[in-house]
Amino acid sequence: MYSKKVMEHFRNPKNAGELKKANGIGEVGNTACGDVMKVYIKVEKGIIKEAKFLTFGCCAAIAASDAVCAIVKGKTVDDAMKLTKQDVIDYLGGELPQLKIHCSILGIDALKAAIKDYKEKHA
């Protein structure tokens, strides 16, 4: 059902955990499936230096959260705001079951909420 890359990000997420010195935090959830994602970012001079996540959800939700954090490290906050579900799906090997695509969108939404939080604090 899941690609090897999705399973790798699920079993061994490299970006899981709380980021103590985050200067942007975003949290989203989906009441239909019960997934909840929290993304922490540390931004320096407009560049995302670190990104971590905490996710309560399925295999795809955890893998997508890890992928989102991996993709945006080193990007400007403006470039990170342009992240799409296809970017996440491609990063995960191009395969997510159709019923799990919403998980990638939730990860992006949590990231965008963290960026919004950062921008509000540093306007």
Residue 20, pLDDT score: 92
Q: For the whole model, what pTM was predicted? A: 0.91
122 in a structural domain: no
13 in a structural domain: yes
Structural domain total, the chain:
1
123 in a structural domain: no
- Residues 84-109 have a mean pLDDT of 82
Q: pLDDT digit string (tens) for 12-51? A: 999 999 999 999 999 998 877 778 999 999 999 999 999 9
- Residues 58-77 have a mean pLDDT of 94
- Residues 106-113 have a mean pLDDT of 93
Residue 60, pLDDT score: 86
Cα separation, 96 vs 100, in Å, equals 6
Residues marked as catalytic: 33, 103
Cα separation, 80 vs 77, in Å, equals 5
CATH classification of the domain holding 17: 3.90.1010.10
89 in a structural domain: yes
H-helix or E-strand spanning residue 27: strand 24-29
By residue range, what is the domain housing residue 52?
4-117
Cα separation, 108 vs 39, in Å, equals 9
